[in-house]
Chains A and B, each alone.
Chain A
């Protein structure tokens, strides 16, 4: 029986294999059929390829990979465009581009997330250059902070950090400053109609308030216009009205062009290394490597200055982290997973080059991935944080280039500290508080950091 049984089964196995193959082949044929008509060899997974000359080549085929977006929605959008193209009295092909931009801009606006935006090619270029260290305009990292108070949503154009040497720094802009007016024009921060509606006014007061609201909106600057004004290098001197804490100040800024050196260092008295990381861009890891080599191995301590570091790209930050501290990851990133959220570690690998004690300087301009790094150095590197509470911006913005040179910035996740701490909107508190605005040439925070490092070295190690 042991011998016969396989023999009896064998034909069935062969048949089963044939059936499997037949099923697979049939499916492939079904899939291949329209492909052959449409575009040989095309796959649904690469729905569009872009070439500047030809425009989009859209190659669709049912089959091996289902479309990422519902075909019904695609068809809906397509139909509307075709109707306009074929039937609209004034349509010209030149309108295709503004229509495309209008569509994507409106779609992103409908998400009600001020940091998820469509960028026209010119705007996209500015952002790309900024991420490489070249800033135009006032030279400050900005974000839009969303606040809801009494059911009125506010979107405040907020300075994260003036960059070192920037017109913004020279003008005295500070982290957390909210820009409320540009040259006397209101930066539209909320829907004034809504505010009037909530105010519970009646009668002619209401009518007047509505009328005022209408005039304010008509005369105001929306977010896009505001950002464009602040990143325009050719604009002459301008006056910004800034809300700082509970006071309002006017700041005069002369926009220009600024190249930020991402890393600077120097050897301080007492064999203490000082390393300032201004932002995380593609040049930052090399800069840190050079700095550490330049500072040498026998340091008594290292001061890492992350003040006014608005963050930047994640990848360079992980490389920098790997040079400073031993840890499997930089922190956690929360991303969407279908309808729920998933947390994933941001891995790092490498051997730390710094063996001496560290102190990290932070302030209200330390934001995003710089905040994650500060916490990592505190928790895994034994570093003390000296300075002021950090900015508290944990949202991960991803720059998504689109084929024609335009782009989107999308909120794609949220940073959490390695221990899972959520610092968004809260910031990270320093271990040792110190004012970080230099007073009469004295950098109090840096002096405190130096003190801490000299104390440490006098304490014998166990």
Chain B
């Protein structure tokens, strides 16, 4: 009897607890088990906020990409014959959704892709030092960085990569080719290249190293007349400071006229473009930023930073993009100099990167650049990839580059550079004429 009382008084509170829990979890147990119950408990706050957001949205009639995706994925989950990976399906759906915008710069990066992009912007990566670009389905060397392993091994701008380590790359995306080429310092990678004018394929083995870009280079093209040239490789944070340093260097050699060489410069940071433009234009508008709502923000040069107003030529080609086009456009619209070369790439879009919940990210084109005169320099293609608008900056003097040019510093054949020097020579030697009244 005593024993029984003891046991029951211990047992019953336990039973009551169990009864409470049973009641609490009843809905889950009846509709899918304890795992789901735990899941439900974990994600309640997140779900509530999402529910509220989406509820608000649904009243505005915007939600149907989300709804359709949800419907389709639910049906796949319930009915599809083969096992599915919902995460990969979601990534595929996101990429498909963004592709429908026909904006090549708005793109999704899965966690791996995002990580390697971050490495790029920080500059801590090991590779061969060549920028790649997809052009008409081919992977093309955009520009080997001066002094980099690729440059030392003789890789040239415009070389088409056929194989990496003897594996064909045709049909691959640029990002995937970059992944194959990068690797630990000191390891080797073999590229098979096709070069214009070279009948056989080239096989080049390159040792990977830490890549840093020197950014600015100075040359004196005509010592007698003092025609100097500064080539900028890209617009990163060091760019402006190095530019000034190179100008001082050339001034020491008697600089009278300047060529700003932006060929093969793919761009970079917007604020750096403004800084660089401020070195040439004392007082003016560098670029117009057209926001989503159509609102236009003028970015002005920073006053008091300009170098002496030397006669100026900006050299550009079809690989001059983004920040390069901003500077070229600013120089022209402010009538500060003339543009020589070929029509530029035509990328007048600003991207912003948004990190997502699972460490993936999305880069979205958030604004447009217009040159100070309001020219939209963006190249446009239709759904099939056909060009519907060329865009880019058209040079004042168009000079097609010689087919024989083997390297960006092959001055022997550099028709564009020759034209620039010739133009400045005339300008410097022409008798000064008083302007007409």
A binds B: yes
Instruction: Report which A residues bind B (CB closer than 8 A).
Output: 8-9, 12, 15-17, 19-28, 30-31, 34, 37-39, 47-48, 50, 54-81, 83-85, 87-91, 93, 95-111, 113, 116, 118, 191, 193-194, 196-197, 203-204, 206-207, 210, 213-214, 334-336, 339, 395-396, 398, 400, 402-404, 406, 408, 410-414
Contact between B19 and A79, CB atoms less than 8 A apart: no
| CA of A210 to CA of B172, assembled, Å | 12
Considering the complex, give the chain A residue whose CB is closest to the CB of B87. Answer: A73
Considering the complex, give the chain A residue whose CB is closest to the CB of B168. Answer: A197
Q: A88-B364, A107-B69, A207-B194 are in contact. Are A113 and B82 (CB under 8 A)?
A: yes
Chain B residues whose CB sits within 8 angstroms of the CB of A88 once the complex forms: 101, 103, 106, 292, 364-366
Considering the complex, give the chain A residue whose CB is closest to the CB of B71. Answer: A402
Chain A residues whose CB sits within 8 angstroms of the CB of B64 once the complex forms: 55-56, 96-97, 100, 404
Interface status of B260 (Cβ within 8 A of chain A): no
Chain B residues whose CB sits within 8 angstroms of the CB of A85 once the complex forms: 62
Which of A9, A63, A80 contacts B108 (CB under 8 A)?
A80
Chain A residues whose CB sits within 8 angstroms of the CB of B36 once the complex forms: 66
Chain B residues whose CB sits within 8 angstroms of the CB of A83 once the complex forms: 354, 362, 364
Chain A residues whose CB sits within 8 angstroms of the CB of B15 once the complex forms: 12, 16
Contact between A412 and B67, CB atoms less than 8 A apart: no
- Among B11-31, those with CB < 8 Å from A are 12, 15-17, 19-28, 31
Contact between A110 and B88, CB atoms less than 8 A apart: yes
Instruction: Report which B residues bind A (CB closer than 8 A).
Output: 8, 12, 15-17, 19-28, 31-32, 36, 39-40, 43-44, 46-48, 50-55, 57-59, 61-84, 86-90, 92-101, 103, 106, 108, 136-137, 162, 167-168, 170-171, 194, 199-201, 290-292, 349-350, 352, 354, 356-358, 360, 362, 364-368
How near does chain B come to A86, taking the closest CB pair, in angstroms?
8
Q: A103-B65, A196-B170, A395-B81 are in contact. Are A78 and B50 (CB under 8 A)?
A: yes
Contact between B171 and A193, CB atoms less than 8 A apart: yes
Chain A residues whose CB sits within 8 angstroms of the CB of B55 once the complex forms: 38-39, 58-60
Interface residues of A, dominant DSSP: helix
Chain B residues whose CB sits within 8 angstroms of the CB of A194 once the complex forms: 171
| CA of A203 to CA of B200, assembled, Å | 7
User: Can you offer 11 A-B residue contacts whose CB atoms are under 8 A?
Assistant: A23-B23, A27-B27, A39-B55, A54-B59, A62-B44, A88-B103, A90-B101, A100-B97, A395-B81, A402-B71, A408-B75
Contact between B194 and A414, CB atoms less than 8 A apart: no
How near does chain B come to A51, taking the closest CB pair, in angstroms?
10
How near does chain A come to B109, taking the closest CB pair, in angstroms?
11
Contact between B366 and A74, CB atoms less than 8 A apart: no
How near does chain A come to B66, taking the closest CB pair, in angstroms?
5
| CA of A207 to CA of B31, assembled, Å | 59
Contact between B77 and A99, CB atoms less than 8 A apart: no
A-B contact sample (8 more), CB < 8 A, given A56-B58, A58-B63, A103-B69: A26-B23, A34-B51, A75-B50, A87-B292, A111-B84, A398-B79, A402-B72, A403-B67
Contact between B364 and A87, CB atoms less than 8 A apart: yes
Contact between A77 and B69, CB atoms less than 8 A apart: yes
Contact between A84 and B62, CB atoms less than 8 A apart: no
Chain A residues whose CB sits within 8 angstroms of the CB of B54 once the complex forms: 58, 60, 78
| CA of A15 to CA of B20, assembled, Å | 10
Considering the complex, give the chain B residue whose CB is closest to the CB of A408. Answer: B72
Q: A23-B19, A76-B356 are in contact. Are A99 and B40 (CB under 8 A)?
A: no
Contact between B92 and A15, CB atoms less than 8 A apart: no
| CA of A74 to CA of B70, assembled, Å | 7
Contact between A103 and B43, CB atoms less than 8 A apart: no
| CA of A65 to CA of B28, assembled, Å | 7
Considering the complex, give the chain B residue whose CB is closest to the CB of A335. Answer: B81
Chain B residues whose CB sits within 8 angstroms of the CB of A58 once the complex forms: 51, 54-55, 57-58, 63, 66-67, 70
Closest 3 CB pairs of A and B: A106-B96, A23-B23, A102-B100
A-B contact count (CB 8 A): 344
Which of A22, A59, A95, A411 contacts B82 (CB under 8 A)?
A411
Chain B residues whose CB sits within 8 angstroms of the CB of A97 once the complex forms: 64
Which of A38, A91, A336, A400 contacts B292 (CB under 8 A)?
A91
Contact between A89 and B366, CB atoms less than 8 A apart: yes
Contact between A108 and B72, CB atoms less than 8 A apart: yes
Chain A residues whose CB sits within 8 angstroms of the CB of B106 once the complex forms: 84, 88
| CA of A76 to CA of B350, assembled, Å | 23
Considering the complex, give the chain B residue whose CB is closest to the CB of A54. Answer: B61
| CA of A66 to CA of B37, assembled, Å | 8
Contact between B32 and A99, CB atoms less than 8 A apart: no
| CA of A105 to CA of B99, assembled, Å | 11
| CA of A17 to CA of B61, assembled, Å | 46
Considering the complex, give the chain A residue whose CB is closest to the CB of B52. Answer: A38
Chain A residues whose CB sits within 8 angstroms of the CB of B90 once the complex forms: 73, 76-77, 107
How near does chain A come to B99, taking the closest CB pair, in angstroms?
6
Contact between A403 and B71, CB atoms less than 8 A apart: yes
Contact between A204 and B199, CB atoms less than 8 A apart: yes
Chain A residues whose CB sits within 8 angstroms of the CB of B68 once the complex forms: 100-101, 103-104, 402-404, 406
| CA of A100 to CA of B103, assembled, Å | 16
Q: A103-B94, A403-B67 are in contact. Are A339 and B100 (CB under 8 A)?
A: no
Contact between B82 and A48, CB atoms less than 8 A apart: no
| CA of A214 to CA of B81, assembled, Å | 34
Contact between A410 and B79, CB atoms less than 8 A apart: yes
| CA of A64 to CA of B10, assembled, Å | 33
Contact between B81 and A76, CB atoms less than 8 A apart: no
Contact between A55 and B62, CB atoms less than 8 A apart: yes
Contact between A214 and B137, CB atoms less than 8 A apart: yes
| CA of A8 to CA of B4, assembled, Å | 11
Chain A residues whose CB sits within 8 angstroms of the CB of B194 once the complex forms: 207
Q: A62-B43, A107-B89 are in contact. Are A73 and B73 (CB under 8 A)?
A: yes
Chain B residues whose CB sits within 8 angstroms of the CB of A210 once the complex forms: 162, 168, 170
| CA of A391 to CA of B108, assembled, Å | 42
Contact between B19 and A107, CB atoms less than 8 A apart: no
Contact between A81 and B58, CB atoms less than 8 A apart: no
| CA of A87 to CA of B352, assembled, Å | 9
Contact between A90 and B103, CB atoms less than 8 A apart: yes
Contact between B75 and A89, CB atoms less than 8 A apart: no
| CA of A121 to CA of B432, assembled, Å | 72
Contact between B365 and A12, CB atoms less than 8 A apart: no
Which of B22, B61, B92, B171 contacts A191 (CB under 8 A)?
B171
Contact between B12 and A207, CB atoms less than 8 A apart: no
| CA of A105 to CA of B93, assembled, Å | 8
How near does chain B come to A30, taking the closest CB pair, in angstroms?
7
Chain A residues whose CB sits within 8 angstroms of the CB of B136 once the complex forms: 214
Chain A residues whose CB sits within 8 angstroms of the CB of B360 once the complex forms: 76
Contact between B86 and A69, CB atoms less than 8 A apart: yes
Q: A109-B92, A197-B168 are in contact. Are A60 and B84 (CB under 8 A)?
A: no
Contact between A89 and B368, CB atoms less than 8 A apart: yes
Chain A residues whose CB sits within 8 angstroms of the CB of B76 once the complex forms: 107-108, 111, 410
Chain A residues whose CB sits within 8 angstroms of the CB of B350 once the complex forms: 89
Which of B21, B27, B46, B362 contacts A71 (CB under 8 A)?
B46
Which of A55, A64, A76 contacts B357 (CB under 8 A)?
A76
| CA of A186 to CA of B357, assembled, Å | 43
Considering the complex, give the chain B residue whose CB is closest to the CB of A15. Answer: B16
Q: A20-B23, A100-B97, A113-B82 are in contact. Are A68 and B63 (CB under 8 A)?
A: no
